[in-house]
Structure 1
Amino acid sequence: MPILEKLTQQSQARHWTDSIPLEFHYTAGVAGEEFRRELRDNGRFLVSKCSKCKSTYIPARMYCPSCFIEMKDQFPIDKPGYVYSFTSVNRDRAGADTELPITVGLVKFEGVKGGIVHLLEKGDSDRLSIGMKVTPSLKNPSERTGAITDILAFKPISTESSSKTVEVGKAERWEVGAGENQARSLLHSIEESGYPVEEDEMTISSLRSKISKGELLTREEDRLLHRLGDKAREWRKAVKSSSETEPADTLSG
């Protein structure tokens, strides 16, 4: 039946079942290829740094998403990461039930934007916490292929979620009550201010975890929180002042 011929009865319509083979190949890109090569050959993570805004990104990328300029400064980092968030699932990627829960987390690095989503080892303590320092567990060099699966998992290197280890019983504690409410209010103010926290992200993550659990802050942590609060207030003032500036008040060129 010609394709332009009008059908007058439903029984005239015909169909058949078949499949069309499709295959897709995605490249990692120039910066992505360099990131994978560094992971394969040296077991390190490659980052990119913007020469204009000075922001550092992981994984390495070619262009700064804020300044839209090419980032030619790339270098590996050796410092440990920290758990920004995590969850446990009972099914694998194919949807099949697993014998034991699988823990997946977002690992970030202090002073670096971006992060890596991967498996987390719970360690001997069988406990994970936000802000806990972790380091990658890699395949043997001869087994690496330059894939993200060259990382077996991230394993804890410290059970302390704080950026500074404080001996239990020796840490100075500040009083509960009004102080705890003040800490919650101050943390909320910092998060709502829009202050760019990349450089202090690990510290804020650790404080957020302790405050949400109702744990007491040490005096040092209290001072850190107030110092971040001062930065957030200055940031809010600067943003407000910038938005209120008239075009005639600015210099051209």
Structure 2
Amino acid sequence: GRPIINTRDEPHARQAEYRRLHVIVGDANMAEISTFLKIGTTAIVMEMLEQEGTFPSLDLSDPVRAIKQVSRDLTFKGSLDLNNGRHTTAIEVQREYLHAAHRFYTTRECSPITKDILIRWESVLDTLERDPRLLRRELDWVAKYDLITSYRDRRGCQWDDPRVAMMDLQYHDIRPSKSLYATLERTGKIERLTHDEEITRARSSAPTQTRAFFRGACLKKFPRQIYGMSWTSVLFDTGNQSIKRIPLLDPYRGTQQLTTELFQDIETVDQLISRLTT
């Protein structure tokens, strides 16, 4: 089966200072709240790890097998084996981590976004135990299950029907004219966290708080001279024999605040490099 974490030593930053936890398992989410909770709860656990928070003793005996079990269990009552011989369920695991997060933030500053994640996290767990279909406006798998169930009831088809398999794929189609999710969104049947204007702006404007801003500024200022870009560098072809490289080894250098003045009153890549090296 597919592993949970990519163990390749590839921090995409200064190796002596940074490490990257590359999680490569999970759903291809469309719903904004699904994504918000997936990324948000992971970020909370990462902060707890970095700050040496206290975690529940819930080591799974076979994590990869457990993920498969949970993904196929819509009752949330399936038993998961722990290393210590005990058994638990997916909901119980989530609740233990949620309680640990609440304890962690009782003695630390908790941002408004983190508070929102914690509130939604608890609400989703409560609703999953009560009636999962109440979450069809928030979670992808519930929205998709509701769509397919309604279709099966109307058409009298089974789960192995090719049309059901097509719906499963079509839900995640990123083309608005083809996507079942986009249809739900257009008809107001999915809860949003963002506005279309924000999404349009994000397509052409890089985040301002990381090195992504510097990459975006280079692309806007010198589009014809960009030879290549990666996490850790910008490459320029200025017509000389050698490619010029600007390293970006610190994720938090190159922010809007730090680099805006660099691009003022310059016309060439050489001028930019000169400012960076003086």
Q: Fold conserved (TM > 0.5)?
A: no
More helix by share: 2
Give TM-score scaled by structure 2 length: 0.26
Larger radius of gyration: 1
Q: Which has the higher strand share?
A: 1
Higher relative contact order structure (alpha carbons within 8 Å, sequence separation ≥ 6): 2
**TM-score (normalised: structure 1):** 0.28
